[in-house]
Each structure stands twice: as structure tokens, then as C-alpha cells.
């Protein structure tokens, strides 16, 4: 067995012959108030529980923790979701190998419950059948960690003031970074204050199937006050950034390559939780995606989004099978192929979009804002202005069917549109055996709809078209 030694400055746990256990070393560090240093080596241990303030550290990549049982090794801080709050736990430089073993009902190889001022830094999480790092009710910093081949790399539930930054996550089997509230609430009044920034998330699969709940590089649900910025994301099976049921959100300066579905997806799939509000999406670069930026589901009361200064290239109609979990069956899914799809009090201004197979920008309100008790239930508005749209099948697609919709499309430069510059479009249904009423196919121009690219309407009309510059394709 390993040995435990102590000095005036720290407790040392090492592979030297002795009678110690990692739990014993942790208990001694907590009782003396000294940090625990784990010397280089591979340690085969039973899972441990930390009940109080402690610092545990190792030289980066020098220590590997494995399991001595049929379940994976788990280091747990706190006894569970109802445990008392524990301040100041620091875990630094440890490697956790889940060995693809079950976690015995636990949520992550390293898991925190109700932790204040926690720090997880320079650790490596590998081969977890659940999360690599799992946080519940945590406040603090997760920085500089590496994750590979975990079902979810980093998970946060009911966080408050959490910063997730500078982590490098690869080969996530279902989700890269996920942050959500539990249980779901009818009204979103929670303050979360999570910052997700400067992470690299490469290759995210959706081994559990589903229709978008898995396969996302960054997925946030039910949060209020959220910032997602300066992340590099590549090869996400669904979305690079997916934000559901959230309020007061900024998504800025992220760089995305190869998102099979929608790169940045803001939505409220169900009406019961109220709508997303106060969303700013700016300065992102998106390349090779099934859809660029989407802000939809205004029938839940969603409104107030500003989409500015984004650069989007190569937006495709990707075809793949949805629901591949072996339970729900499968049907053919076709992505939107739209650069920016907006609804409900949205502004799309100053964006550059090139080569979108369906439309550069779409303002197609499928269902109308019911307001859910908001003061103005009578209008749905949009402003599409000062965008450059090059070589898109349709430059701008719109739908003015609902008399409560008001919008202006002005000052855009549309170059080399494949079929139409500015034209009325409608959503399409997927073919059987897709669920009935599944209007998630790509939008299509309405037969016989007039071309509005060269029209200049008075701004007093419900939908106005002004000063749009139409340029033919040139060689």
C-alpha cells in the first residue's frame, strides 16, 4: 500500500511502501489544514469523499487515479445535493481514468456538491461513462483541464458564479460542456451567472441518439445571465452552441467549424417555461454548418435578440437520420440551410453570409408570439439591415402571413442569389415517418410569390423593403 508522510508544510501521499490509503491522506490533510501533495505514480484506489476544505495537488500529468473495484474511481466533494456548503476545495494536476467502467450511480469522476470558491485546474478526465467533471450548486473556477472520451466532458447543475475557461475537450460521446437548472421551473427566475470562455471543444458525438439533446459542444438550459465567448468548436454532431430556456445571454466571438446541424441555436422547444429574452449574438465566425444562427419559438413568448457582425460561410442542407437510439426509430432529417433564422423582436444587422443553400437570412414566423402575460401581445417585429449576402439560393426569405408581424428589410447587398433575392418563404415538413406536424425541413419559396428585391415600399406598410442593392453574379 502507499505511504502517508507529513511535514510542517504539507501531507505527502506516495507509492512508497506503507499502510496508507488516499482517503486516509485526505482526512489527515483536512484535520491538519495542510495541503495534500500526491507524488508521481499510478494509484489504484477505492472511491473517496471530501467533507471539508482541502487542497489536493500533483505535478501536472504525473499522477493517475484508477479504481480498485468494478466501478470507476470517483472523488466526491460533499455528500450529495442536500449537503452543507463546502468552501475552498482545490483539486489541481490530477489525472482521472474512468477505464470505461460504470460509475455506480455517481455522476462524474470528480464531482462537487454545494461548493463555494472551488478550483479544478490542470486535471485530465478520461474514459468516463458519465461526466468527467460534475458540479452541483458550485461556485468557482474550472480552468486548464483536459477531457477525452467522456460521455459529457464537463457538467454543471444549478451553478452560481461559475467560470469554465481554457479547457481542452475532445471526443465527447454526447456533450462537451453542459450547464442546466434542475428541476425545471415554469418561470425562469434563477440567477446563474455562468461564464464559458476560451475553451476548445473538438469532436462531439451523440451516442445516446435523440433529436438535439445530445451532440452539442456547449449546451445550456434554463440559465439566467450567461456568457459564452471566445471558444473554438469543431465537428459537433448537432450544435456548436445550443441555448434553451435562457434569459440575458451573450454569445460572442466564438469560432465554429463543421457543426452538422445549427451552429448557434437559441430556442424554447416547449411553451411551458416562458421564452428566451435579451440575447446578443455578435462577432462569431461559422463555417461548414447545417444552419448558422437560429433564434426561434416565439410562440413561447421569446423575443429581444440582436444578431450583429457575424461571418457565416457554407451553410448546407445536411441529411442524416434522427433518433438513432434504437427506441424511437429513425427518420430522415434535413437541416435548414439558412444563415440566420430569426423571429420575434430580432435585429440582424451587419452580418456577412456567403453560400447558404436555402437562404442567407430568413424571417419566417412559424407560430406567433402569445406573450405569456407580457405587455405587448400584438406585435412581432424584425429588422434585417446592412447585411452582405453572397451566392445564397435566396438572399432574404420572409413570411408576412400573420397580421401581427411588422418588419423592415433594408440596406442589404445581395450578390449572385441562386433563385430569388428577397421572396416570401414557408417552412416545410419532413417526409414520413417523421412525427406529424414536424416543420423542421428547410424553408422553400412560396409558389407565385413576387420578387421584392427591387421593390421600395413606404415604411408605413407592415413589411417594408427599402434600398436593397441587388448585384448579379459575376465571373
Question: Residue 58 has what pLDDT?
Answer: 98
Question: Residue 187 has what pLDDT?
Answer: 54
The pTM score is 0.95
pLDDT tens for each residue of 385-429:
999 999 999 999 999 888 878 899 999 999 999 889 999 999 888
Mean pLDDT of 342-368: 89
Q: Is the pLDDT of residue 471 over 60?
A: yes
pLDDT tens for each residue of 76-115:
999 999 999 999 999 999 999 999 999 999 999 999 999 9
DSSP code string of 403-465: TTEEEEEES-EEES-SSEEEEEEEEEPPPTTSPTT---EEEEEPTTPPP-TT----TTSSEEE
- Mean pLDDT score of the chain: 91
Question: Residue 236 has what pLDDT?
Answer: 97
* DSSP assigned state of 60: T
> In the chain, what's the furthest Cα-to-Cα distance?
86
Q: Is the pLDDT of residue 324 over 70?
A: no
Question: Residue 441 has what pLDDT?
Answer: 83
Among 214, 314, 226, 209, which residue's Cα sits nearest to residue 278? 226
Question: Residue 475 has what pLDDT?
Answer: 53
d(CA 414, CA 387): 8
Cα dist from 260 to 241, 286, 287, whole Å: 12, 12, 11
Calculate what percentage of the chain has a pLDDT beyond 70.
93
Q: Is the pLDDT of residue 366 over 60?
A: no
Among 379, 348, 377, which residue's Cα sits nearest to residue 361? 348
To 10 degrees, the CA torsion angle through 208, 212, 217, 220? Answer: -110
Question: Residue 269 has what pLDDT?
Answer: 79
Are the C-beta atoms of 60 and 33 separated by less than 8 Å? Answer: no
Q: Is the pLDDT of residue 351 over 90?
A: yes
Strands 108-113 and 75-77: parallel
Among 74, 20, 80, which residue's Cα sits nearest to residue 47? 74
Question: Residue 376 has what pLDDT?
Answer: 53
* DSSP H helices in 270-367: none
Mean pLDDT of 331-345: 90
- pLDDT classification of 374: cutoffs 50, 70, 90: low
pLDDT tens for each residue of 17-38:
889 999 999 999 999 999 999 9
Mean pLDDT of 269-274: 70
Task: State the Cα angle at 296 between 160 and 441, rounded to 5°.
Answer: 130
Among 243, 297, 307, which residue's Cα sits nearest to residue 274? 297
- pLDDT classification of 272: cutoffs 50, 70, 90: low
- pLDDT classification of 328: cutoffs 50, 70, 90: low
Sign of the alpha-carbon dihedral angle for 7, 12, 18, 21: positive
Sign of the alpha-carbon dihedral angle for 348, 341, 455, 369: negative
Helix (H/G/I), strand (E/B), else coil: 22: helix
Amino acid at each position: 500500500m502507499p505511504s502517508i508522510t507529513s511535514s510542517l508544510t504539507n501531507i505527502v501521499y506516495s507509492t512508497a511502501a506503507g499502510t496508507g490509503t488516499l482517503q486516509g491522506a485526505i482526512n489527515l490533510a483536512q484535520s491538519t489544514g495542510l495541503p495534500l501533495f500526491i507524488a508521481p505514480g499510478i494509484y489504484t484506489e477505492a472511491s473517496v469523499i471530501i467533507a471539508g476544505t482541502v487542497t489536493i495537488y500533483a505535478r501536472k500529468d504525473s499522477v493517475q487515479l484508477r479504481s480498485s473495484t468494478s466501478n470507476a474511481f470517483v472523488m466526491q466533494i460533499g455528500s450529495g445535493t442536500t449537503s452543507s456548503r463546502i468552501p475552498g476545495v482545490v483539486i489541481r494536476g490530477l489525472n482521472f481514468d474512468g477505464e470505461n467502467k460504470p460509475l455506480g450511480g455517481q455522476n462524474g469522476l470528480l464531482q462537487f456538491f454545494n461548493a463555494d470558491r472551488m478550483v479544478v485546474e490542470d486535471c485530465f478526465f478520461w474514459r468516463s461513462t458519465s461526466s468527467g467533471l460534475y458540479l452541483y450548486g458550485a461556485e468557482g473556477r474550472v480552468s486548464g483541464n483536459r477531457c477525452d472520451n467522456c460521455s459529457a466532458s464537463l457538467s454543471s447543475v444549478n451553478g452560481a458564479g461559475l467560470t469554465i475557461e481554457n479547457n481542452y475537450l475532445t471526443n465527447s460521446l454526447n456533450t462537451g460542456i453542459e450547464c442546466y437548472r434542475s428541476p425545471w421551473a415554469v418561470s425562469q427566475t434563477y440567477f446563474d451567472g455562468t461564464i464559458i470562455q476560451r475553451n476548445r471543444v473538438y469532436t462531439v458525438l451523440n451516442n445516446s441518439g435523440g433529436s438535439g439533446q445530445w451532440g452539442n459542444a456547449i449546451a445550456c438550459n434554463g440559465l439566467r445571465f450567461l456568457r459564452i465567448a471566445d471558444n473554438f468548436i469543431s465537428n459537433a454532431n448537432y450544435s456548436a452552441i445550443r441555448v434553451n430556456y435562457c434569459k440575458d445571454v451573450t454569445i460572442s466571438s466564438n469560432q465554429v467549424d463543421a457543426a452538422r446541424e445549427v451552429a448557434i441555436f437559441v430556442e424554447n422547444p416547449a411553451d411551458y417555461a416562458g421564452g428566451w429574452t435579451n440575447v446578443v449574438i455578435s462577432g462569431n465566425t461559422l463555417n461548414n454548418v447545417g444552419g448558422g444562427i437560429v433564434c426561434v419559438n416565439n410562440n413561447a413568448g421569446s423575443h429581444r435578440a440582436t444578431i450583429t457582425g457575424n461571418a457565416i460561410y457554407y451553410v448546407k442542407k445536411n441529411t442524416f437520420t434522427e433518433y438513432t437510439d434504437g427506441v424511437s426509430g429513425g427518420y430522415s432529417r434535413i437541416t435548414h440551410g439558412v444563415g440566420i433564422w430569426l423571429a420575434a423582436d430580432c435585429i440582424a444587422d451587419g452580418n456577412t453570409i456567403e453560400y447558404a443553400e436555402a437562404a442567407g437570412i430568413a424571417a419566417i414566423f412559424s407560430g406567433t408570439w402569445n406573450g405569456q402575460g407580457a405587455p405587448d401581445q400584438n406585435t412581432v417585429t424584425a429588422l434585417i439591415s446592412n447585411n452582405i449576402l453572397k451566392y445564397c439560393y435566396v438572399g432574404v426569405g420572409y413570411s408576412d402571413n400573420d397580421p401581427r408581424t411588422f418588419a423592415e428589410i433594408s440596406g442589404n447587398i445581395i450578390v449572385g442569389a441562386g433563385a430569388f433575392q428577397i421572396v416570401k418563404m414557408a417552412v416545410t415538413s419532413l417526409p414520413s415517418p417523421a412525427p406529424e406536424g414536424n416543420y423542421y425541413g428547410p424553408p422553400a419559396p412560396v409558389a407565385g410569390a413576387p420578387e421584392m428585391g427591387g421593390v421600395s415600399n413606404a415604411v408605413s406598410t407592415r413589411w417594408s423593403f427599402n434600398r436593397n442593392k441587388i448585384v448579379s453574379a459575376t465571373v
